[in-house]
Structure 1
Amino acid sequence: MRIPLLAALVLCLPAAAQAHEIWIERDGSGPARVYLGEPGEPMPVGGDPEFAKLKAPRILARPGAVLTRRAGFLETKLPAGDVRAWDDTVFALWGPDGKKEGVVYYARAGRAEPRAKLPFELAPVTANGSRFVLTRDGKPLPGAKVALYAPDRSKTELTTDADGTVETSAAKPGRYLLVASRTEEGPVALPGGNASLVYRITTTSYVVPG
């Protein structure tokens, strides 16, 4: 198993949730594909072992979006443009009563729109630019760890600057994925009940043209 982005976060998560992210892939204006897994590892045939738990991620501003289950991902047809989704139902709350913990996933594909719309998001500073800002409820997060996965699945660890931004200049064409994590104390109301501690994980994928 690959080394997790935040060792402390992984130690607190149950085994089933360790090192997992949700991310979205899209080619041009084609269908959006929503994955659950470990982006630094080759995707197993048929999808990640936990993929069955990814049932109904919500597509931002598209409440009627129809998700079709494929071998390893969920697929939906959407109008052209950036795609955003979130899901707080993948893993049930864990831990003793009164100290339950939970995880909320956020995902974005594309970098055409230079602003954040999700509560926790990595958004481009300029349209189709290589600099991204990490925000929580619209406020930049300085000093945060961000992982950048290249098309060959290699990982580079970055840290946001005083303005909450990271530079992701890439020389090779292909699909890149940014990942950031954050822990927050509750209580936070989640579908399974109130959580005393919540782990938020956000991803943004984008394609560098050849």
Structure 2
Amino acid sequence: MRLPILAAMLLLSTTAQAHEIWIERDGTGPARIYLGEPAETPPPGGDPEFAKLKAPHILAQPKVALARRAGFLEAKVPAGDVRAWDDAVFTPWGADGKKEGVVYYARAGRAEAVAKLPFELAPVAAGGTRFVLTRDGTPVVGLPVTVIAPDRSKTELTTDAAGMIDTNPAKPGRYLLVASKKEDGPITLPGGSAQAVYRITTTSFVAP
């Protein structure tokens, strides 16, 4: 393999793992769906990889229209929590037989104390600050969760024996929770097959 190709694959791997999809919503207004690095100040016009976010699936809203804005996709959805997922942002990367891929999940809101995505951080109680991380309904124990505060500072937590974390928001504003889990495949994605997949999930909520 030529070095430039190897370097490109390594860069793609780092980019895919460092990026997240997340959703922001103010009250009952439209949902804003982002691709990027939420702990970093976004460049004008959004993250350079934003163009790869084309058609995320909004749970229970298969026909919702997505409007492309400067740095995010906008969707007018009913009141309540919003969930989305996308497995087509990055094409699987790596050598043949050892390819890796990524599937993103995102949620905004904490009105419902239930998980509906395959990999999700859901509040233990509606409106609460304690969250449980589940994979297909089963709590995920001992996995790191990053809490990004309104000022973009980060706190690293680890899910306990029940798959839970307590965010303890100290300031008002929007918080974002991020968790990532690598799983062995094989898996078939829209961009091709992979032998391993990174599942990355986010949940955002606004603390008063």
**2:153 and 2:14 mapped to 1: Cα distance?**
23
Give the equivalent residue in structure 2 for 1:121: 120
**Gapped runs of 5+ residues in structure 2?**
1-9
Give the equivalent residue in structure 2 for 1:185: 184
Give the equivalent residue in structure 2 for 1:88: 87
Equivalent AA in structure 1 for residue 128 of structure 2:
G
Q: Are the equivalent residues in 1 in contact too, given 2:91–2:192 (CA < 8 A)?
A: no
**1:145 and 1:12 mapped to 2: Cα distance?**
23
Which digits, 9 at most, give the CA deviation of each residue in 1:99-146, with x for residues without a partner? 211000000000000000000000000000000000000000111100
Are 1:161 and 2:157 an aligned pair?
no
Equivalent AA in structure 1 for residue 96 of structure 2:
D
Give the equivalent residue in structure 2 for 1:8: none
Give the equivalent residue in structure 2 for 1:198: 197
Which is further off, 14-23 or 159-168?
Answer: 14-23
**1:61 and 1:133 mapped to 2: Cα distance?**
22
RMSD over equivalenced CA pairs, Å: 1.2
**1:207 and 1:68 mapped to 2: Cα distance?**
23
Which is further off, 186-195 or 53-62?
Answer: 186-195
Q: Are the equivalent residues in 1 in contact too, given 2:30–2:74 (CA < 8 A)?
A: yes
Equivalent AA in structure 2 for residue 135 of structure 1:
T
Query: How far does residue 193 in structure 1 lie from its aligned partner after superposition?
Result: 2.1
Give the equivalent residue in structure 1 for 2:207: 208
Give the equivalent residue in structure 1 for 2:29: 30
Query: How far does residue 12 in structure 1 lie from its aligned partner after superposition?
Result: 8.9
Give the equivalent residue in structure 1 for 2:59: 60
Give the equivalent residue in structure 1 for 2:5: none
Secondary structure, aligned partner of 2:48? coil
Give the equivalent residue in structure 1 for 2:133: 134
Query: How far does residue 172 in structure 1 lie from its aligned partner after superposition?
Result: 0.8
**1:74 and 1:128 mapped to 2: Cα distance?**
26
Query: How far does residue 169 in structure 1 lie from its aligned partner after superposition?
Result: 1.1
Instruction: State the TM-score, normalizing by the size of structure 2.
Output: 0.93
Listed as ranges, the matches of 1:143-162 within 5 Å are 143-162=142-161
Give the equivalent residue in structure 2 for 1:72: 71
Residues 164 and 13 of structure 1: is their aligned pair in 2 closer, same or farther, counting only changes over 3 Å? Answer: farther
Which digits, 9 at most, give the CA deviation of each residue in 1:18-59, with x for residues without a partner? 410000000010000000000110011100000000000000
Residues 183 and 15 of structure 1: is their aligned pair in 2 closer, same or farther, counting only changes over 3 Å? Answer: closer
Residues 39 and 71 of structure 1: is their aligned pair in 2 closer, same or farther, counting only changes over 3 Å? Answer: same
Instruction: State the TM-score, normalizing by the size of structure 1.
Output: 0.92
Residues 136 and 18 of structure 1: is their aligned pair in 2 closer, same or farther, counting only changes over 3 Å? Answer: closer
How many residue pairs align between the two structures? 199
Residues 86 and 172 of structure 1: is their aligned pair in 2 closer, same or farther, counting only changes over 3 Å? Answer: same
Secondary structure, aligned partner of 2:160? coil
Equivalent AA in structure 1 for residue 207 of structure 2:
V
Question: Percent identity between the aligned chains?
Answer: 74
Secondary structure, aligned partner of 1:14? helix
**1:14 and 1:112 mapped to 2: Cα distance?**
34
**2:101 and 2:180 mapped to 1: Cα distance?**
13
**Gapped runs of 5+ residues in structure 1?**
1-10
Which is further off, 147-156 or 17-26?
Answer: 17-26
Which digits, 9 at most, give the CA deviation of each residue in 1:78-107, with x for residues without a partner? 000000000000001111222211000000
